[in-house]
Amino acid sequence: MSKTIPSISLAADPCDSATRSALYDQHSMALADAVPQIVWTANPDGALDYYNQHWIDYTGMSIEETTGWGWAPVLHPDDLQRCIDVWTNSYTTGELYEIEYRFKRASDGSYRWHLGRALPVRDQAGNIIKWFGTCTDIQEQKQALNDVENKVRERTAELASVNESLLAEIEQRKLLAQTQQRDALRLNEIITTQCQLTEAKLDLEAFFQLVVNRIDVLTGAAGSVIELVDGDEMIYRAGSGVAGPHVGLRLQRASSISGLCVKTQEVLHCVDSETDQRVDRVACQRIGVRSMVVAPLFHEGKAIGVLKAMSPRAHAFGAADMQTLQLMAGLIGSAIAHQTAFNEKEKLLSDLNAAVSVIAANERRIRTVIESAHDAFVAMSADGCITDWNRQAEETFGWTRQEAIGQQLESLIIPPRYRDAHVAGMDHFRLTGEGEKLNKRIQLHGLRKNGSEFPVELTINVIANSSDMQLCAFLHDITDRKRTEEGLLHLAQIDQLTELPNRRLFNDRLATAMGRARRAKKLMALIYLDIDHFKKINDSLGHGVGDALLKEFAARLKASVRVIDTVARLGGDEFVMLLEQLQEPADTSVITDKIMNSIRRDMVIDGHAMSITASLGGAFYSGEDLSPEELVALADEALYRAKQAGRNQSCWAPAPAAKN
């Protein structure tokens, strides 16, 4: 079956004959001229046969020029064909005509947005005998909506830029922490190796082999070798990795980088053996070497050999690797002599102290960065125990560093309702080393010492070493940002005069409510209300009184419904209500009676005593195959009938027919 179309029937109620004559007599035209909108009528074939004075004033065109289809020249070229198509469909099918389009204002030649609407007038047989339409200027409303949307986009872009900067800063701090960790691990390995070598009671060859094996671990080399001077040659005495099979190999001192190292007594770095003229390229190709670091071995102040780390990749070593080889070479020289000269011990100790100082300085720099950060920094062990807490964390959460260190994270800053999920996530992380929130920017709720909750944005990273794992997070209080976002959303969805939901929010709630009613098979009602003769009040007492009346009217409507119901203002004196979870249609009687009685109570608005009435039109819905637009049309039609029947009353649409 076809959908229900709102129309004006000239035989639907006792006042039909008056309605028919009102559309054509001079009195009706005078009323149309008084309306601050463009009013027009059309024949059943779509040809327009009447415009009110507002059309002539607005477009500068006479009725004779625009009769029939002569109105097309004032429409914006981009909207003309669409308007023709919609209008043709309406007068052909009898469906409600509604469209937004632009047409030219004669006073300044500008194109302005209008809302065009038309309803069919039918005779007793149901045939369309006339179309009644209006055009309402909505330029300011559309511009205001565009301005709000632009502000939301600009603010979103600003927030995204700030977030990107925070992420970059967090990534930089992460890199600093990783560098510090690598340096600390390397230093620990060097110290451990030195202790093992010093305490081991090995012969010289076994001592050499232990050294080259540890060099591979410390530098990531593919192979290491100890070469000793033998006349004009260098001989491989111990090797690991790719150099292991070549123990005993002899190289000419004059044509090798090892011989040059002995000669210069300096640490040498070959980044690519294919281009470095100091190396024996044939020997490197035989072993499969592309880059290397070579450190001299000393005995009694004389270079007697080298310690070499090698890689099949070019550019494989850095300054830290050169320092490592230099430290280890000093130990080997001491082992060769079976004793360490005092000056060699002093040099080694100095180098170690320098390395420790560098690491300590790095730790101080990182601590300074963390303590001066504008974000809260919190670190914890894998079992959830807090291990670090900066000054911003103290300000953000209210707990001092002394109070926080050693406490379980979930009991300190996580709201109780999220703690079980946090514990489950930590259990999963300890088992798998994985977590869905790691290395992501996420938003959660935090808990302050005073018990208040607030929104935070954070990124969690894992720093792992050979013994344990630390989880580090930078957290930022986004309360102000959330408040700004909520304010923008409020501006976009709330009517500023009455503080009721506006048309946009109402449309969302209507679709959601219809979905709930359909799924739960529950009855709901949609009610449209207009204040009777509001325009007269507005014109006679002024817009200030009119606005105050609208606010009082809205307050009375809101006080008359249940908490689960919605009251919204669509514009002007047009209000709408959603009544959900009704047991039967009769349930609305209590609510509507309460509404109408509340409206009729005397009121004083800005010193003016007045008594008003309202017209109410409603439609029920309980899961029928209707769209929100179709349900709105039913309620709107019922409101129209209530007005036609004399106002100050309610009228309900018949139950909607099922669709095939």
Rounded Cα distance, 433 and 459, in Å: 17
Q: Which of 209-213, 259-263, 314-318, 575-579 has the highest mean pLDDT?
A: 575-579
Top-confidence residue, 28 or 91: 91
Top-confidence residue, 586 or 464: 586
Which amino acid, residue 290? R
pLDDT at 25: 56
Given 532, 565, 573, 636, the catalytic residue: 573
pLDDT at 104: 92
Cα-based distances in Å from 355 to 170, 195, 201, 227, 269 = 26, 17, 28, 27, 20
Percent of the chain's residues with pLDDT above 90: 37
pLDDT band at 410 (very low <50, low <70, confident <90, very high): confident
CATH code: domain 200-340 is: 3.30.450.40
pLDDT band at 26 (very low <50, low <70, confident <90, very high): low
Domains 370-478 and 494-652 are alike in CATH topology: no
Tell me the mean pLDDT in the region 544-552. Answer: 93
Does 322 score more than 50 pLDDT? yes
Residue 267 neighbours by CB under 8 Å, 6+ apart: 261, 293, 294, 295, 296, 322, 325, 326
pLDDT at 16: 47
User: Do 436 and 422 form a contact (C-beta atoms < 8 A)?
Assistant: no
pLDDT at 253: 87
57-68 tens-digit pLDDT: 999 988 888 888
**Chain-centre distance for alpha carbon 38:** 44
595-641 tens-digit pLDDT: 989 998 998 998 898 889 999 999 999 999 999 999 999 999 999 99
Q: Which residues of 200-227 are buried (b: 16+ CB within 10 A; e: fewer)?
A: eeeeeeebbbbbbbbbbebbebbbbbbb
pLDDT at 340: 41
End-to-end CA distance of the chain: 6
pLDDT band at 467 (very low <50, low <70, confident <90, very high): low
Does 24 score more than 60 pLDDT? no
Active site annotation includes 573: yes
Q: Which residues make beta-bridge pairs with 270?
A: 292
Does 199 score more than 70 pLDDT? no
pLDDT band at 81 (very low <50, low <70, confident <90, very high): very high
pLDDT at 211: 86
pLDDT at 309: 92
Tell me the mean pLDDT in the region 227-236. Answer: 91
pLDDT band at 344 (very low <50, low <70, confident <90, very high): low
Under DSSP, the state recorded for 657 is P
Top-confidence residue, 82 or 489: 82
Residue 518's CB: how many other CB atoms inside 10 A?
16
Domain boundaries defined on the chain: 8-137, 200-340, 370-478, 494-652
Does 366 score more than 50 pLDDT? yes
Question: Pairing between strand 469-477 and 453-464?
Answer: antiparallel
Q: Where are any strands of DSSP class E within 231-357? A: 233-241, 250-252, 268-270, 291-299, 302-311
331-343 tens-digit pLDDT: 777 767 664 444 4
pTM of structure:
0.36
Rounded Cα distance, 307 and 281, in Å: 19
CATH code: domain 8-137 is: 3.30.450.20
DSSP string, 97-142: EEEEEEEE-TTT--EEEEEEEEEEEE-TTS-EEEEEEEEEE-HHHH
Burial class (CB in 10 A: 0-12, 13-18, 19+), 9: middle
Percent of the chain's residues with pLDDT above 70: 86
370-478 belongs to which CATH class?
alpha beta
Rounded Cα distance, 613 and 553, in Å: 10
494-652 belongs to which CATH class?
alpha beta
505-527 tens-digit pLDDT: 999 999 999 999 999 999 999 99
pLDDT band at 99 (very low <50, low <70, confident <90, very high): very high
1-12 tens-digit pLDDT: 333 334 444 333
Tell me the mean pLDDT in the region 126-143. Answer: 92
